[in-house]
Amino acid sequence: MLAIIGGTGLTQLENLKITHRQVLRTPYGEPSGPMTFGIINQHEVMFLARHGYGHTIPPHMVNYRANLWALRDQGATRVLAATSVGGIRADLVPGTVVVPDQLIDYTHGREFTFFDGKDRSVTHIDFTKPYSEPLRQQLLAAARSAGLKCVDGGVHAVTQGPRLETAAEVDRMERDGAHMVGMTGMPEASLARELGLQYATIAVVANHAAGRGSSLNSIPLDTIGAVLNPAMEQVRDILEMVVVSDAN
Ligand code: HPA
């Protein structure tokens, strides 16, 4: 089944006919909230709000392991994740929707693996391409058929948060090859891979990253909502389009 993880600005799906909600427990603790199960146009989907339904869980406190475990436990095989980012590359201006194809992990201190060696032998996953290409293509095709602009590809840097970056940190990320920066992309993507789930991200650029464009001197936090909300509507349309055009 297809699953959707909603981020900031996306705590529910518009056209989802909810069949039931379920509180779940996992060996790794509780997910961010109850899992919502429903149907869009006869297509089943499950939905989880990454930050909780009241948006109370900050990026570094999200129980990524419980979230991914619960999704798989409930029958998810593919996961679409919505997230918001700051734009580093010049064309990734606020309001842009982008489907990244690479990532760089700057997070630390998070519970980031199921393979901690406690009860199994050492296990490595291949992570050369962190996102599922078929799922990325489904997102891009859905955007095209909805007539919505969506940038194909980009390097998604993931920082620890919850503070935003310094301008020098963003400069360094740019030298590293990063095109956008967010706080929730990891370890979500690698945990999905560890569980054998296909996973792709769709991101909304909420602001220029620190030291860029309108964030030259400070990030205008008070205007982020006004940018994020209409763009997340587009993401919601794209995600719903993926669900209804999905073969399975
Ligand atoms: N940095 C990190 N995470 C973010 C940003 C940012 O500028 N904007 C939205 N999420």
Q: How many domains does the chain have?
A: 1
Rounded Cα distance between 215 and 74, Å, is 41
The structure's pTM equals 0.96
Q: Average pLDDT, stretch 144-160?
A: 97
Residue nearest to atom 9 of ligand 1 (CA): 85
Task: Report the pLDDT value the prediction gives residue 117, as an integer from 0 to 100.
Answer: 74
In short, whether 155's Cβ falls inside 6 Å of ligand 1 is no
> Using one digit for the tens of pLDDT, what is the confidence trace for 161-175?
999 999 999 999 999
In short, whether 188's Cβ falls inside 6 Å of ligand 1 is no
Specify the CATH number for the domain of residue 8. 3.40.50.1580
In short, whether 170's Cβ falls inside 6 Å of ligand 1 is no
pLDDT higher than threshold 70 for residue 248: no
For residue 195, give its domain range.
Answer: 2-247
Residue nearest to atom 2 of ligand 1 (CA): 182
Other CB atoms within a 10 A radius of the CB of residue 118 amount to 5
Mean pLDDT over all residues of the chain?
Answer: 95
Task: Report the pLDDT value the prediction gives residue 2, as an integer from 0 to 100.
Answer: 96
Residue nearest to atom 10 of ligand 1 (CA): 85
Q: Average pLDDT, stretch 174-188?
A: 98
Residue 78 CB partners (closer than 8 Å, separation 6+)? 1, 2, 3, 132, 135, 197, 198, 199
If one residue of 51, 183, 208, 212 were mutated to test the ligand 1 pocket, choosing by the most ligand atoms within 8 A of its CB, it would be 183
